[in-house]
Chains A and B, each alone.
Chain A
């Protein structure tokens, strides 16, 4: 998609009644952002706790599959809340995100983080002991957990950075 098309789309979106409503009521955007951050807090903490369990820093006496079953399923419904609040924020200020490279970077990182989370959840539901099978798998697990922590942190950084990299 060329930039001109996105620019036109932003212009159209910003002219919709919903966008107007979000822009004019001063409390709407901070409220949406607050809900968005609370959702991020839940997802981020859930993912980090499971990653820390893989590193045996958190609740090592509890099997990994139990820790994963306790925290990972929460991520998906909360993700829906993030999609809704995120979309409304974009509708309110389309140019802030859609014409911003940082936003696309955030979405790409999110795809990686979710793929990692999904793969972990799936591997543990089909074979609860999977990541304990041998040192190669343990190392792979720790590597994946480290990547997951870094990617989730980058997503949060990118989220904040959107505010500083918007074009006019």
Chain B
């Protein structure tokens, strides 16, 4: 099995990675797009989470809130992953050696698992509580976990910048 380091080496030495490293404008530009898209991911998913917790948007069914919000969340997430990947390849080895970067990836994965569990397990009997202000405990837990995980993702993201000197 090839080592991870061997897999990322060609990425890191690619022309694209070179440009991101060398160009004074490119890195801040990509970073700004990254921050902007993460803000949309976090802010929009918060709308869903607060609805699950029965705190906001309670005059709308849960399903209507998720249907309206999640396409925006996913679009922003795609942009965040794309911009994040560009920053990653510019200094892949350094990022992989950064604990906060690894933690951030794991937390995003955990948020994804939380979301999958919500869709597959928690929302199985959604029609029964769709219109109710108070969701069942498992739905409120999903909303609460989501908020905490995304706060931690943002914190790790910020800490990467302070523990790694790039750009």
Q: Which residues of A contact B (CB under 8 A)?
A: 26, 29-31, 33-34, 37-38, 40-46, 48-49, 52, 58-59, 62, 70, 153, 156-157, 159-161, 163-164
Assuming the contacts A59-B68, A156-B32, asked whether A41 and B39 have C-beta atoms less than 8 A apart, the reply is yes
Shortest distance in angstroms between B101's beta carbon and chain A's nearest beta carbon? 14
B92 at the interface (CB under 8 A from A): no
Query: Which chain A residues border B95 with CB–CB below 8 Å?
Result: none
A–B complex contacts, Cβ < 8 Å, 14 sampled: A29-B162, A30-B162, A34-B154, A37-B35, A37-B158, A41-B40, A41-B43, A43-B43, A44-B39, A45-B43, A45-B46, A49-B47, A164-B28, A164-B167
- The number of residues on chain B lying at the interface, defined by a beta carbon within 8 Å of a beta carbon of chain A, is 26
Kindly list chain B residues whose C-beta atoms are within 8 Å of the C-beta of A157. Answer: 32, 36
Query: Is B42's CB within 8 Å of the partner chain A?
Result: yes
Q: A34-B155, A37-B154 are in contact. Are A161 and B43 (CB under 8 A)?
A: no
Select which of A43, A45, A48, A160 is within 8 A of B28 by beta carbon. Answer: A160
- A46 in contact with B43 (CB, 8 Å): yes
The reply to whether A48 and B68 form a contact with Cβ atoms under 8 Å apart is no
CA distance A157 to B35 in the complex (A): 8
For A161, the closest partner residue in chain B by CB is B28
Interface of chain B residues 12 through 64 with chain A (CB within 8 A): 28, 31-32, 35-36, 38-40, 42-44, 46-47, 56-57, 60
Asked if B38 contacts A41 (CB within 8 A), the reply is: yes
Query: Chain B residues near A156 (CB, 8 Å)?
Result: 32, 35-36, 39
Chain B residues, CB < 8 A from A42: 43, 46
A160 and B43 contacting across the interface, CB-CB below 8 Å: no
Residues of B within 8 A of A (CB): 28, 31-32, 35-36, 38-40, 42-44, 46-47, 56-57, 60, 68, 72, 151, 154-155, 158-159, 161-162, 167
Q: When A42-B43, A42-B46 are in contact, do A160 and B72 touch as well, CB less than 8 Å?
A: no
Instruction: Tell me whether A45 and B47 are in contact (CB under 8 A).
Output: yes
Write out the residue numbers on chain B whose beta carbons fall within 8 Å of the beta carbon of A41.
38-40, 42-43, 46, 154
Considering the complex, give the chain B residue whose CB is closest to the CB of A26: B162
CB contacts (< 8 Å) of A26 on chain B: these are: 162
Query: Could you tell me the distance between the alpha carbons of A87 and B5 in the complex, rounded to whole angstroms?
Result: 42
Q: Chain B contacts of A153 at CB under 8 A?
A: 36
B162 proximity list for chain A (CB < 8 A) = 26, 29-30
Partner of B158, one of A30, A43, A48: A30
Find the B residue at minimum CB distance from A153.
B36
Residue of B nearest to A47 (CB): B43
* Chain A nearest CB, measured from B131 CB (Å): 15
Does A37 lie within 8 Å of B28, measured CB to CB? no
